[in-house]
Amino acid sequence: MGTSSVEIDAPGLRSFRYAGYARRFSLAASPPGMARADLHFFHDMYASASTLRDLFWRFLRSFRGVRSLKLKVSDLKHLLVAFPNVEHLELEGHHEPASEMAAAVAIGNLLRCCPAARHLTLRLATAPPRERDSAMNGSGRSFACLKNSLRRFAIQFRMDQPNCIDVKLIKFFAENAIHLEEMRID
């Protein structure tokens, strides 16, 4: 982990791609015209959960102004950063089979942080069970993107059981996304 950090000053940056561990990283100023960020975070088994969460959030804050975000994470529980301009959101992540509620809350938190989302793609998988804290709550909140902007929803998953979280998400979006025009299920 160390104390080293990376700061990039690239005001004309339009696209950014990263694959690796969450590290101390920031853009000197979030480029106003950044169109796309493709971020893939690996699971770091040597870092504590709180350190990982802190680094992850700090890293993501540099991309608040992005319009299209592709995010791949090892654990859905770490998601909570505001992306007010994101219109196209792709999320790939893992959740523990026993913690579907925590995964649903994490996805809900992300939706709340993306009020302008028009296109949403979810690729979800269950992770092998590990001992973790699952004290998350607050799923009965409203999401601006469901009322105002979400037009397309896509989800990829493997059905482990008939009423798994993925099936519940499909029902949720079908019933609550007022302007939904297209739904793709793989």
In the prediction, which pLDDT does 31 show? 64
CA–CA distance, 94 with 51 (Å, rounded to integer): 19
Residues 72-106 have pLDDT tens digits of 887 776 666 778 889 999 988 876 666 677 778 87
> In the predicted model, what is the mean pLDDT of residues 107-131?
78
CA–CA distance, 132 with 102 (Å, rounded to integer): 11
Instruction: Write the CB contacts of 86 (distance below 8 Å, at least 6 apart in sequence).
Output: 66, 67, 68, 69, 114, 116, 117
Q: Say which amino acid occupies 63.
A: F
Residues 27-81 have pLDDT tens digits of 776 666 789 999 998 877 777 777 877 888 888 888 888 899 998 887 776 666 7
Residues 170-184 have pLDDT tens digits of 888 888 888 999 999
pLDDT band at 166 (very low <50, low <70, confident <90, very high): confident
pLDDT at 3 over 60: no
CA–CA distance, 35 with 68 (Å, rounded to integer): 6
For Cα atoms 114, 82, 66, give the angle at the middle one, nearest 5 degrees. 75
In the prediction, which pLDDT does 97 show? 66
In the prediction, which pLDDT does 135 show? 29
In the prediction, which pLDDT does 61 show? 81
